[in-house]
Amino acid sequence: MDVNEVKDRINENKQDIEDLAKVIANLKIRIRVLEIGFKKSNFEGGKIKLRRNKIMYELIDKLVVKRHEISYGIGINHKYPNENMVRLTKWFFPKRGKVLDYGFGPGENLLHLLRIGHMVAGIEVSTEARKITEKKLKEYPLLKKRCELYMLTKNDKRLPYKSNSFDYILSNQTVYFLNSEKKIRYLLKEFNRILKPNGRIIISMMSRFNRGCTAGKYVGNNCYEYFADGLSEPNKVYIVKDEDHIRKLFDVFKINEIGYFDNYYCGEAGHHFVVLASKSNSVKQVIVRNNTCLVAFLSKEN
């Protein structure tokens, strides 16, 4: 929609916007308007049915899957959980709950979450990673009972879980492999959807100080290509520049903190930003007039 069209729509719906302003004032809380849109509605049995025109994206990238299959196939594995995730989850996920480990890889973070008492769901795209993780889980039948794994395919346009079903989500060194801002934003919305109210999320994002960026080649749209061990074709990743960039990308959440972890040895620079965030308490407000809905997503500012 261009600016003039928006102005026209606002003029046409002036009364609705004034009504909405009153609703906002009555809420007596500081709020942020996340999104305002207009949708044609139809009425059925007195109830409003909003037409769903949400754009959906594939949640996987075929080439990324292929490259991870090769890496795990040639023996890439971890024997320990990521120490930063051990510390962060202990602090930011304080109670036992239901956790999603998105991009569980060789399964060490997932096993750690099980060991400290969480119920864990894991998502992966690499069958080799799944094999490695299942082999490890077999050794711990009691932990395995509290764990379920799911393989995403190109047919998955949504995460396979109900809304408001997770206390926590962890996604370490994974989200940027989607290498498209639109897809990443879409995935983040999906994360927000499946989190319970006040649910929390930890996501690490490759930064411009990481070898993936410093030794990589810029290929446009904040994406870089770099060669990882054993790969004849490059990995493509989405790089976040700074905190401002992260705040915009993650605006679906309430951000608690943005930090980073780093290492530099054996020619590797492993700098990643870490985003600690919570589900935003957004409220959908719908005002109907003349068969048109004004839809606003309002978020309480804490």
122 interacts with ligand SAM by CB under 6 A? no
Q: CB of 157: closest distance to ligand SAM in angstroms? A: 12
103 interacts with ligand SAM by CB under 6 A? yes
Both tokens of 166, joined, read: 């997770």
105 interacts with ligand SAM by CB under 6 A? yes
C-beta closer to ligand SAM: residue 60 or 213: 60
245 phi and psi angles, rounded to 5 deg: -60, -45
Q: CB of 199: closest distance to ligand SAM in angstroms? A: 19
Rounded CA separation 261/92 (Å): 16
Angle between helices 14-27 and 3-12 (to 10 degrees): 80
The count of chain residues that interact with ligand SAM, using the rule CB under 6 A, is 22
Rounded CA separation 36/234 (Å): 40
Q: CB of 60: closest distance to ligand SAM in angstroms? A: 5
Question: Taking CB under 6 A as the criterion, which residues in 53-72 touch ligand SAM?
Answer: 59-60, 64, 68
Nearest CA-CA partner of 86 in 274, 278, 271, 280: 274
What are 169's strand-pairing partners? 100, 201
124 interacts with ligand SAM by CB under 6 A? yes
* Among residues 126, 282, 285, 299, the one that binds ligand SAM under rule CB under 6 A: 126
Place of tokens 């990743």: 237
Question: Taking CB under 6 A as the criterion, which residues in 127-146 touch ligand SAM?
Answer: 129
C-beta closer to ligand SAM: residue 147 or 298: 147
Other C-beta atoms closer than 10 Å to the C-beta of 187 total 20
Both tokens of 143, joined, read: 């932990």
Q: CB of 136: closest distance to ligand SAM in angstroms? A: 12
C-beta closer to ligand SAM: residue 31 or 123: 123
Rounded CA separation 176/143 (Å): 29
Question: Taking CB under 6 A as the criterion, which residues in 152-211 touch ligand SAM?
Answer: 152, 172-174, 177-178
Q: CB of 88: closest distance to ligand SAM in angstroms? A: 12
Q: CB of 7: closest distance to ligand SAM in angstroms? A: 39
Question: Taking CB under 6 A as the criterion, which residues in 278-297 touch ligand SAM?
Answer: none
Alpha carbon distances (Å) from 293 to 3, 13, 23: 20, 10, 15
Question: Taking CB under 6 A as the criterion, which residues in 2-41 touch ligand SAM?
Answer: none
266 phi and psi angles, rounded to 5 deg: 50, 35
Q: CB of 117: closest distance to ligand SAM in angstroms? A: 20
Query: Please, is 263 exposed, middle or buried when counting C-beta atoms within 10 Å of its C-beta (0-12, 13-18, 19+)?
Result: exposed
Angle between helices 62-73 and 127-138 (to 10 degrees): 50
Instruction: Say if CB 285 and CB 295 are below 8 A apart.
Output: yes
125 interacts with ligand SAM by CB under 6 A? yes
C-beta closer to ligand SAM: residue 45 or 75: 75
Binding site for ligand SAM (CB under 6 A): 59-60, 64, 68, 78, 82, 102-105, 109, 123-126, 129, 152, 172-174, 177-178
